[in-house]
Each structure stands twice: as structure tokens, then as C-alpha cells.
Structure 1
Amino acid sequence: MSLTDLPLLGMLRNRMQWHQARQALLAENVANADMPGFRPRDLAEPSRSSAGLAAPLGAAIGGDGLARTDTRHIGLSAESGPNADPRRFKGFEVRPSGNGVNLEEEMMKAGDNQSDYQLVASLYQKSLDALKIAVGKR
């Protein structure tokens, strides 16, 4: 087993690959901002259970973790109900052409994704540096 096969480094590599794939998808959303009928897409967060980490609290409770126990409670989603707007697509307004891309939101996601990638990459590099010091190669 080599030093780069450690579970921590594997998780960091998987996270960097996820951020790379998400960046490509966000760039595709921006590139198709004027295409009629285009719907923006995004990647779901990688599962923590496959990485050996504890599942999020909502999954541990069951589903969303919240339940509407009384009809007088405020609804959990804005997809249906008296205040629902059929022109909205996952929080964005859909243009008359059917395109749901909001450039400002996509650029904010891309910037956040880039900074998260840089954080994971620096953690990966620092972990490798610490391993080199521990082995005595530095």
C-alpha cells in the first residue's frame, strides 16, 4: 500500500473530481443561457455514507427530517400552494422562451465551487507534505 492510497487522500481526490465535474456543468449552464427551453442543471453533493462519514442529520431522521403535522403550518416547499408561481424553476424565473438560467446565480455557484476546489486542493497538498515529513523524505 502506497502513501497515496490512504482513505483521507482518496476522499480528497474524489471531492476534487466532483468539483471539476460540477464546474463543467456550471459552465455548460452559462454557455446555454440564451438557448430556448434550456433548464440549468447542477450536481448533487457526494454521499457521505460512501466516504465512511456519518450521514447528514436529515437523512438520519428520515427523508427531509421535517414533517407537516398540522394543516395550519407553513408548507415546506414553494412548488405548490397558494403562493406558488408556475413561472419559477427551482428558485429562478423562467423566461418566455422557456430558459431557466440565471447568469448571476450560475456565476456565484461557479465562484463558490472554485474556492471550494482550491480549499480541497490545498488540504490535499498539506496532507502530502505532512506524510513526507512523517516518512522523512523532506
Structure 2
Amino acid sequence: MSVTDLPLVAMLRNRMQWQQTRQKVLAENVANADTPGFRARDLKAPRFRDDGSLAAAGLPGIGMERTSGLHLAGAGPSGPAEERTGTRFEMMPSGNAVSLEDEMLKAGDNQAAYQLAASLYQKSLLTLRIAVGK
């Protein structure tokens, strides 16, 4: 079994690859902000099942277990995070629907999430090295 077969490492690697691809899409949106008729695009976030496993890929997820009846049950994707589905501003007369403010907010959020995933990836590999005695 290689290190990349571990579910946590594979999940973090896939998350970082998704965020790299999303950053490219957001950069294209910013680059085409003045292109007539251009509409901003975004990638859909990976979907998870109720048990925490990834719905689209065959990766085993980290399931959650209620060990006490007093614990809160998971209710799905609802939470404090706001999901931006559209632009808050009107379309330009040229038909362009790119809002630089929204795209820069998305890029900043994406960068922070990528840095978190990269840090967790690095720490998990360091923990594995410590576990094997290197």
C-alpha cells in the first residue's frame, strides 16, 4: 500500500487539484472581463454523501459517527458559508456578465482553501514519516 492510497492523502490531493483548476477558470474570467458577451464560469464544488464519502469518485470518505444522542446530527451542506451562484451586479451593455469584485473574492477564497489543503497534506505526510521512524 502506497502513501497515495490512504484516503486522507488522496482526498487532499484531489481537493488541491480541483482548486488549481478552479483558479485557472477564475483567472480566465478576470482576463475576459472586457470581452463582449463573455459570461463568468465557475467549477462546482465536490459533492459528498451524508456519511462524508465523495459522491462522484470512488474514494472512500471519512464517515461521521454520533457517539451520543446529545450530539447534533449532520444536516447536509447548510452552514455559515455563502455559496455564490450568480453575480450581484447587472450585465454590462456589451453583454459581459463578469464582476471583477466577485471574481477576486472567489480567487481569494480559493487561494486560502488551497493553502489550508496544502498545509494539511504536508502535515499528514510529516505525521506518516514520524510514524515510520524517519
Whether these two folds match at TM > 0.5 is yes
CA distance in 1, matches of 2:118, 2:98: 29
Task: Give the superposition deviation at 1:47.
Answer: 1.4
Q: Deviations over 1:2-52 (max 9, x none)?
A: 123201000000000010000000000000000001000111111113253
CA distance in 1, matches of 2:5, 2:119: 18
Number of aligned residue pairs: 108
In structure 2, the residue matched to 1:120 is 117
The ranges of structure 1 where at least 4 consecutive aligned residues each deviate by more than 4 angstroms after the TM superposition are 53-56
In structure 2, the residue matched to 1:67 is none
Task: Give the superposition deviation at 1:108.
Answer: 1.1
CA distance in 2, matches of 1:21, 1:53: 24
In structure 2, the residue matched to 1:5 is 5
Please, which runs of 5 or more residues in structure 2 have no aligned partner?
64-73, 79-85
State the one-letter code of the partner of 1:23.
Answer: Q
Task: State percent identity of aligned pairs.
Answer: 65
1:104 is the counterpart of 2:101: yes
The 1:56/1:91 distance shift into structure 2, 3 A limit, reads farther
TM-score w.r.t. the length of structure 1 is 0.71
1:46 is the counterpart of 2:43: no
Please, which runs of 5 or more residues in structure 1 have no aligned partner?
60-88
SS at 1:92 equivalent: coil
Q: Deviations over 1:92-134 (max 9, x none)?
A: 3100000000111101111110111001000000000000000
More helix by share: 1
- Whether contact under 8 Å (2:87, 2:99) holds in the other structure is no
Q: Deviations over 1:67-106 (max 9, x none)?
A: xxxxxxxxxxxxxxxxxxxxxx643310000000011110
TM-score w.r.t. the length of structure 2 is 0.73
CA RMSD of aligned residues (A): 2.0
- 1:32-111 superposed matches below 5 A: 32-49=32-49, 50=54, 51=59, 52=61, 57=76, 90-111=87-108
